[in-house]
Amino acid sequence: MAYTFTRRVALAVAASAALVASTATTALAEGWKPQKPVEMVIMAGQGGGADRLARLFQSIIQKEGLSNMPILPINKGGGSGAEALRYLKDKEGDAHVVMATLNSYYTTPLRTDIGVDIEEYTPIARMALDTFVLWVNADSDIYTIEDYVAAVQAAGGEWKMGGTGTGAEDSLVTAMLEKEFGIKHTYVPFKGGGTVAKNLVGGHIDSTVNNPSEQMGFYQAGKSRPIVAFTPDRIEAFPNVPTARELGHDLVYWMQRSFVAPKDMPAEAVAYYTDMFQQLSQTEEWQTYTKEKALMADFLTGDDLQAYFLEERAKHDAILKDMEGGSS
Protein backbone atom coordinates (compact mmCIF):
# COMPACT_ATOMS: atom_id res chain seq x y z
CA MET A 1 0.00 0.00 0.00
CA ALA A 2 2.71 2.39 1.05
CA TYR A 3 4.70 1.37 -1.99
CA THR A 4 1.92 2.05 -4.51
CA PHE A 5 1.21 5.33 -2.82
CA THR A 6 4.83 6.46 -3.17
CA ARG A 7 4.90 5.32 -6.72
CA ARG A 8 1.78 7.34 -7.47
CA VAL A 9 3.28 10.38 -5.91
CA ALA A 10 6.46 9.87 -7.91
CA LEU A 11 4.38 9.56 -11.08
CA ALA A 12 2.48 12.69 -10.24
CA VAL A 13 5.68 14.58 -9.58
CA ALA A 14 7.11 13.39 -12.87
CA ALA A 15 3.93 14.37 -14.70
CA SER A 16 3.85 17.81 -13.20
CA ALA A 17 7.54 18.27 -13.90
CA ALA A 18 6.84 17.45 -17.53
CA LEU A 19 3.96 19.91 -17.49
CA VAL A 20 6.13 22.64 -16.01
CA ALA A 21 8.81 21.89 -18.60
CA SER A 22 6.31 22.10 -21.46
CA THR A 23 4.81 25.36 -20.17
CA ALA A 24 8.33 26.71 -19.79
CA THR A 25 9.06 26.00 -23.44
CA THR A 26 5.80 27.56 -24.65
CA ALA A 27 6.50 30.49 -22.38
CA LEU A 28 9.82 30.94 -24.11
CA ALA A 29 8.15 30.68 -27.48
CA GLU A 30 5.15 32.91 -26.85
CA GLY A 31 6.13 35.13 -23.95
CA TRP A 32 4.79 35.19 -20.40
CA LYS A 33 1.51 33.50 -19.43
CA PRO A 34 -0.33 33.26 -16.10
CA GLN A 35 0.73 30.19 -14.12
CA LYS A 36 -2.35 30.10 -11.89
CA PRO A 37 -5.89 31.55 -11.84
CA VAL A 38 -5.96 35.34 -12.08
CA GLU A 39 -7.87 37.32 -9.46
CA MET A 40 -10.09 40.09 -10.75
CA VAL A 41 -10.73 42.40 -7.81
CA ILE A 42 -13.93 44.43 -8.10
CA MET A 43 -14.13 47.75 -6.22
CA ALA A 44 -17.85 47.32 -5.57
CA GLY A 45 -20.30 44.86 -4.06
CA GLN A 46 -22.19 42.13 -5.90
CA GLY A 47 -24.98 43.00 -8.28
CA GLY A 48 -24.21 46.66 -8.96
CA GLY A 49 -23.33 48.20 -12.30
CA ALA A 50 -19.57 47.87 -11.81
CA ASP A 51 -19.94 44.26 -10.72
CA ARG A 52 -22.14 43.35 -13.66
CA LEU A 53 -19.66 44.86 -16.09
CA ALA A 54 -16.66 43.10 -14.50
CA ARG A 55 -18.48 39.79 -14.69
CA LEU A 56 -19.33 40.46 -18.32
CA PHE A 57 -15.60 40.94 -18.99
CA GLN A 58 -14.84 37.72 -17.16
CA SER A 59 -17.36 35.74 -19.16
CA ILE A 60 -16.15 37.14 -22.50
CA ILE A 61 -12.54 36.29 -21.58
CA GLN A 62 -13.64 32.77 -20.63
CA LYS A 63 -15.87 32.28 -23.65
CA GLU A 64 -13.34 33.55 -26.18
CA GLY A 65 -10.43 31.79 -24.48
CA LEU A 66 -8.45 35.01 -24.12
CA SER A 67 -6.66 33.69 -21.03
CA ASN A 68 -5.16 30.24 -20.54
CA MET A 69 -6.04 30.42 -16.83
CA PRO A 70 -9.47 31.07 -15.32
CA ILE A 71 -10.30 34.59 -14.13
CA LEU A 72 -11.78 34.72 -10.61
CA PRO A 73 -13.87 37.80 -9.80
CA ILE A 74 -13.60 38.86 -6.14
CA ASN A 75 -15.78 41.60 -4.69
CA LYS A 76 -14.05 43.90 -2.24
CA GLY A 77 -16.57 46.71 -2.06
CA GLY A 78 -16.05 47.78 1.56
CA GLY A 79 -15.41 51.47 2.24
CA SER A 80 -16.36 52.69 -1.27
CA GLY A 81 -13.54 50.59 -2.67
CA ALA A 82 -11.08 51.30 0.17
CA GLU A 83 -10.99 47.59 0.91
CA ALA A 84 -10.00 46.81 -2.70
CA LEU A 85 -7.38 49.58 -2.85
CA ARG A 86 -5.75 48.33 0.36
CA TYR A 87 -5.87 44.76 -0.92
CA LEU A 88 -4.08 45.72 -4.14
CA LYS A 89 -1.43 47.59 -2.14
CA ASP A 90 -0.60 44.37 -0.27
CA LYS A 91 -0.18 42.51 -3.59
CA GLU A 92 2.94 44.41 -4.64
CA GLY A 93 4.85 42.57 -7.38
CA ASP A 94 2.08 39.98 -7.85
CA ALA A 95 1.60 38.93 -11.48
CA HIS A 96 -1.81 37.26 -10.96
CA VAL A 97 -4.10 40.03 -9.84
CA VAL A 98 -5.86 42.83 -11.70
CA MET A 99 -8.49 45.26 -10.43
CA ALA A 100 -11.57 46.65 -12.17
CA THR A 101 -11.89 50.32 -11.28
CA LEU A 102 -14.50 53.03 -11.25
CA ASN A 103 -14.18 56.66 -10.24
CA SER A 104 -13.93 55.79 -6.55
CA TYR A 105 -10.40 54.79 -7.59
CA TYR A 106 -9.55 58.47 -7.17
CA THR A 107 -12.29 59.81 -4.93
CA THR A 108 -11.91 57.27 -2.10
CA PRO A 109 -8.21 58.01 -1.40
CA LEU A 110 -9.00 61.73 -1.70
CA ARG A 111 -11.89 61.62 0.75
CA THR A 112 -10.36 59.41 3.43
CA ASP A 113 -6.75 58.73 4.25
CA ILE A 114 -6.27 55.01 3.60
CA GLY A 115 -2.54 55.12 2.92
CA VAL A 116 -2.86 54.46 -0.79
CA ASP A 117 -1.28 56.43 -3.63
CA ILE A 118 -2.82 55.37 -6.93
CA GLU A 119 0.24 56.65 -8.76
CA GLU A 120 2.09 53.55 -7.54
CA TYR A 121 -0.27 51.11 -9.22
CA THR A 122 0.36 49.78 -12.71
CA PRO A 123 -2.18 50.97 -15.30
CA ILE A 124 -3.34 48.19 -17.65
CA ALA A 125 -6.23 49.29 -19.84
CA ARG A 126 -9.20 51.62 -19.94
CA MET A 127 -12.10 49.71 -21.49
CA ALA A 128 -14.77 52.38 -21.65
CA LEU A 129 -16.16 55.64 -20.42
CA ASP A 130 -19.65 55.33 -19.02
CA THR A 131 -21.97 58.26 -19.52
CA PHE A 132 -24.44 60.08 -17.28
CA VAL A 133 -27.88 61.35 -18.21
CA LEU A 134 -30.46 63.30 -16.22
CA TRP A 135 -33.67 61.25 -15.92
CA VAL A 136 -37.20 62.00 -14.79
CA ASN A 137 -40.32 59.83 -14.56
CA ALA A 138 -42.16 59.61 -17.90
CA ASP A 139 -45.37 60.77 -16.15
CA SER A 140 -43.88 64.15 -15.27
CA ASP A 141 -44.35 67.33 -17.31
CA ILE A 142 -40.63 67.94 -17.60
CA TYR A 143 -39.23 67.79 -21.12
CA THR A 144 -36.32 70.24 -21.15
CA ILE A 145 -33.60 71.40 -18.81
CA GLU A 146 -35.50 74.71 -18.35
CA ASP A 147 -38.60 72.79 -17.20
CA TYR A 148 -36.39 70.86 -14.84
CA VAL A 149 -34.69 73.87 -13.26
CA ALA A 150 -38.06 75.62 -12.87
CA ALA A 151 -39.56 72.55 -11.19
CA VAL A 152 -36.64 72.13 -8.79
CA GLN A 153 -36.81 75.80 -7.86
CA ALA A 154 -40.56 75.59 -7.30
CA ALA A 155 -40.02 72.66 -4.94
CA GLY A 156 -37.90 74.89 -2.72
CA GLY A 157 -35.16 72.40 -1.86
CA GLU A 158 -37.58 69.47 -1.46
CA TRP A 159 -36.89 68.05 -4.92
CA LYS A 160 -35.78 64.45 -4.43
CA MET A 161 -32.69 63.46 -6.39
CA GLY A 162 -31.81 59.77 -5.99
CA GLY A 163 -28.22 58.52 -6.06
CA THR A 164 -25.79 55.95 -4.75
CA GLY A 165 -24.24 57.85 -1.84
CA THR A 166 -22.51 61.07 -0.87
CA GLY A 167 -19.18 61.23 -2.70
CA ALA A 168 -20.39 58.78 -5.36
CA GLU A 169 -20.23 59.77 -9.01
CA ASP A 170 -23.88 60.76 -9.25
CA SER A 171 -23.57 63.00 -6.21
CA LEU A 172 -20.73 64.85 -7.96
CA VAL A 173 -22.92 65.36 -11.02
CA THR A 174 -25.72 66.56 -8.76
CA ALA A 175 -23.34 69.03 -7.12
CA MET A 176 -22.26 70.27 -10.56
CA LEU A 177 -25.91 70.79 -11.56
CA GLU A 178 -26.60 72.71 -8.37
CA LYS A 179 -23.63 74.97 -8.89
CA GLU A 180 -24.38 75.63 -12.57
CA PHE A 181 -28.08 76.43 -12.12
CA GLY A 182 -28.09 77.73 -8.55
CA ILE A 183 -30.62 75.08 -7.49
CA LYS A 184 -30.90 72.84 -4.42
CA HIS A 185 -31.88 69.16 -4.28
CA THR A 186 -32.60 66.79 -1.43
CA TYR A 187 -30.14 64.02 -2.24
CA VAL A 188 -31.51 60.58 -1.24
CA PRO A 189 -28.88 57.80 -1.26
CA PHE A 190 -29.70 54.19 -2.23
CA LYS A 191 -27.61 51.07 -2.41
CA GLY A 192 -27.09 50.80 -6.15
CA GLY A 193 -27.91 52.35 -9.50
CA GLY A 194 -30.56 49.73 -10.25
CA THR A 195 -32.45 50.55 -7.06
CA VAL A 196 -32.23 54.24 -7.85
CA ALA A 197 -33.74 53.60 -11.29
CA LYS A 198 -36.57 51.56 -9.79
CA ASN A 199 -37.40 54.24 -7.24
CA LEU A 200 -37.63 56.85 -9.99
CA VAL A 201 -40.08 54.77 -11.98
CA GLY A 202 -42.03 53.93 -8.80
CA GLY A 203 -42.41 57.66 -8.10
CA HIS A 204 -40.51 57.66 -4.81
CA ILE A 205 -37.92 60.15 -6.04
CA ASP A 206 -38.20 62.94 -8.61
CA SER A 207 -35.04 62.64 -10.69
CA THR A 208 -31.77 60.69 -11.08
CA VAL A 209 -28.47 60.94 -12.90
CA ASN A 210 -28.22 57.23 -13.77
CA ASN A 211 -25.89 55.65 -16.30
CA PRO A 212 -27.92 54.79 -19.43
CA SER A 213 -27.35 51.06 -18.81
CA GLU A 214 -29.26 51.33 -15.53
CA GLN A 215 -32.31 53.06 -17.07
CA MET A 216 -32.32 51.43 -20.52
CA GLY A 217 -34.99 48.84 -19.72
CA PHE A 218 -37.39 51.41 -18.27
CA TYR A 219 -36.65 53.87 -21.06
CA GLN A 220 -37.51 51.28 -23.71
CA ALA A 221 -40.74 50.52 -21.86
CA GLY A 222 -41.60 54.21 -21.91
CA LYS A 223 -41.41 54.66 -18.15
CA SER A 224 -38.56 57.12 -17.78
CA ARG A 225 -37.46 60.13 -19.81
CA PRO A 226 -33.92 61.38 -20.48
CA ILE A 227 -33.62 65.18 -20.23
CA VAL A 228 -30.01 66.04 -20.86
CA ALA A 229 -26.75 64.11 -21.39
CA PHE A 230 -23.51 65.02 -19.63
CA THR A 231 -21.37 64.11 -22.65
CA PRO A 232 -19.50 66.30 -25.17
CA ASP A 233 -21.51 64.86 -28.08
CA ARG A 234 -24.98 63.35 -28.29
CA ILE A 235 -25.19 59.69 -27.24
CA GLU A 236 -25.88 57.42 -30.21
CA ALA A 237 -28.63 55.53 -28.37
CA PHE A 238 -30.49 58.79 -27.58
CA PRO A 239 -30.18 60.93 -30.73
CA ASN A 240 -32.92 63.33 -29.55
CA VAL A 241 -31.44 64.07 -26.14
CA PRO A 242 -29.37 67.27 -26.15
CA THR A 243 -26.07 67.55 -24.31
CA ALA A 244 -25.65 70.10 -21.56
CA ARG A 245 -22.83 71.63 -23.56
CA GLU A 246 -24.94 72.38 -26.65
CA LEU A 247 -27.46 74.09 -24.34
CA GLY A 248 -24.69 76.37 -23.18
CA HIS A 249 -23.83 74.66 -19.90
CA ASP A 250 -20.37 73.13 -19.79
CA LEU A 251 -21.21 70.02 -17.75
CA VAL A 252 -19.33 66.89 -18.80
CA TYR A 253 -18.75 63.92 -16.54
CA TRP A 254 -17.58 60.36 -17.22
CA MET A 255 -17.29 57.16 -15.28
CA GLN A 256 -14.13 55.35 -16.32
CA ARG A 257 -14.19 51.55 -16.49
CA SER A 258 -10.56 50.43 -16.40
CA PHE A 259 -8.19 47.77 -15.16
CA VAL A 260 -5.10 48.36 -13.03
CA ALA A 261 -2.52 46.02 -11.48
CA PRO A 262 -0.38 46.16 -8.32
CA LYS A 263 2.82 48.15 -8.01
CA ASP A 264 5.85 46.51 -9.73
CA MET A 265 3.97 43.88 -11.69
CA PRO A 266 6.58 42.20 -13.97
CA ALA A 267 6.71 43.90 -17.37
CA GLU A 268 5.95 40.65 -19.30
CA ALA A 269 2.79 40.20 -17.22
CA VAL A 270 1.73 43.80 -17.88
CA ALA A 271 2.21 43.15 -21.60
CA TYR A 272 0.16 39.95 -21.40
CA TYR A 273 -2.83 41.57 -19.66
CA THR A 274 -2.70 44.67 -21.85
CA ASP A 275 -2.86 42.42 -24.88
CA MET A 276 -5.68 40.36 -23.34
CA PHE A 277 -7.85 43.43 -22.73
CA GLN A 278 -6.99 44.78 -26.18
CA GLN A 279 -8.32 41.56 -27.71
CA LEU A 280 -11.34 41.75 -25.43
CA SER A 281 -12.11 45.28 -26.60
CA GLN A 282 -12.31 43.98 -30.16
CA THR A 283 -14.75 41.12 -29.53
CA GLU A 284 -18.18 41.34 -31.04
CA GLU A 285 -19.92 40.88 -27.66
CA TRP A 286 -18.17 43.91 -26.21
CA GLN A 287 -18.82 46.05 -29.28
CA THR A 288 -22.54 45.21 -29.21
CA TYR A 289 -22.76 45.76 -25.47
CA THR A 290 -21.19 49.21 -25.57
CA LYS A 291 -23.49 50.25 -28.38
CA GLU A 292 -26.66 49.00 -26.66
CA LYS A 293 -25.77 50.40 -23.27
CA ALA A 294 -24.47 53.75 -24.57
CA LEU A 295 -20.93 53.29 -23.30
CA MET A 296 -18.04 55.01 -25.06
CA ALA A 297 -15.54 52.26 -25.87
CA ASP A 298 -12.43 54.41 -25.62
CA PHE A 299 -9.44 52.11 -25.25
CA LEU A 300 -6.33 53.51 -23.57
CA THR A 301 -3.21 51.87 -22.10
CA GLY A 302 0.20 52.45 -20.56
CA ASP A 303 1.58 55.91 -19.82
CA ASP A 304 -1.35 57.64 -21.52
CA LEU A 305 -3.69 55.89 -19.11
CA GLN A 306 -1.59 56.85 -16.09
CA ALA A 307 -1.56 60.48 -17.27
CA TYR A 308 -5.36 60.29 -17.61
CA PHE A 309 -5.72 58.89 -14.06
CA LEU A 310 -3.60 61.66 -12.57
CA GLU A 311 -5.45 64.36 -14.47
CA GLU A 312 -8.80 62.94 -13.34
CA ARG A 313 -7.58 62.76 -9.76
CA ALA A 314 -6.72 66.47 -9.85
CA LYS A 315 -10.16 67.26 -11.32
CA HIS A 316 -11.96 65.24 -8.67
CA ASP A 317 -9.90 66.86 -5.95
CA ALA A 318 -11.20 70.23 -7.14
CA ILE A 319 -14.83 69.04 -7.36
CA LEU A 320 -14.69 67.46 -3.90
CA LYS A 321 -13.17 70.59 -2.32
CA ASP A 322 -15.90 72.61 -4.03
CA MET A 323 -18.61 70.34 -2.61
CA GLU A 324 -17.25 70.58 0.91
CA GLY A 325 -17.03 74.36 0.59
CA GLY A 326 -20.60 74.49 -0.66
CA SER A 327 -22.11 72.34 2.05
CA SER A 328 -20.47 74.01 5.03
Q: Which residues contact other proteins (rule: CB under 8 A)?
A: 46-47, 51-52, 55-56, 58-60, 62-63, 70, 74, 77-80, 82-83, 86, 111, 158, 160, 165-167, 186-191, 194-195, 197-199, 201-205, 216-218, 220-221, 223, 285, 288-289, 292
* CA 255 vs CA 103, 199, 204, 233: distances in Å: 6, 22, 25, 16
Query: Whose Cβ is closer to other proteins: residue 218's or residue 273's?
Result: 218
The secondary structure of 136-191 as a DSSP string is: EETTSS--SHHHHHHHHHHTTT--EEEES-TTSHHHHHHHHHHHHHT---EEEE-S
> What does the alpha-carbon distance between residue 231 and residue 243 come to, in Å, rounded to a whole number?
6
Cβ(180)–Cβ(249) under 8 Å?
yes
Smallest gap from Cβ 160 to other proteins, in A, equals: 5
Query: Whose Cβ is closer to other proteins: residue 290's or residue 301's?
Result: 290
Smallest gap from Cβ 198 to other proteins, in A, equals: 5
Smallest gap from Cβ 309 to other proteins, in A, equals: 22
Smallest gap from Cβ 72 to other proteins, in A, equals: 10
Run of H or E residues at 249: none
Query: Whose Cβ is closer to other proteins: residue 199's or residue 279's?
Result: 199
Query: Whose Cβ is closer to other proteins: residue 279's or residue 283's?
Result: 283
Query: Whose Cβ is closer to other proteins: residue 214's or residue 229's?
Result: 214
Query: Whose Cβ is closer to other proteins: residue 69's or residue 247's?
Result: 69
Report which residue type is found at 72. Answer: L
Query: 22 CB contacts (<8 Å, ≥6 apart)?
Result: none
Strands 122-131 and 97-101, how do they pair?
unpaired
Query: Whose Cβ is closer to other proteins: residue 109's or residue 123's?
Result: 109
> What does the alpha-carbon distance between residue 274 and residue 95 come to, in Å, rounded to a whole number?
13
Smallest gap from Cβ 128 to other proteins, in A, equals: 15
Smallest gap from Cβ 69 to other proteins, in A, equals: 13
Helices 302-327 and 169-181 cross at an angle (nearest 10°) of 60
The secondary structure of 83-148 as a DSSP string is: HHHHHHHTTTT-SSEEEEE-THHHHHHHHS--S--GGGSEEEEEEEEEE-EEEEETTSS--SHHHH
Smallest gap from Cβ 64 to other proteins, in A, equals: 10
Helices 267-281 and 49-64 cross at an angle (nearest 10°) of 90
Alpha carbon 152 to its chain centroid, in Å, reads 30
Query: Whose Cβ is closer to other proteins: residue 165's or residue 242's?
Result: 165
Query: Whose Cβ is closer to other proteins: residue 125's or residue 206's?
Result: 206
Smallest gap from Cβ 246 to other proteins, in A, equals: 29
Cβ(73)–Cβ(54) under 8 Å?
yes
Smallest gap from Cβ 15 to other proteins, in A, equals: 26
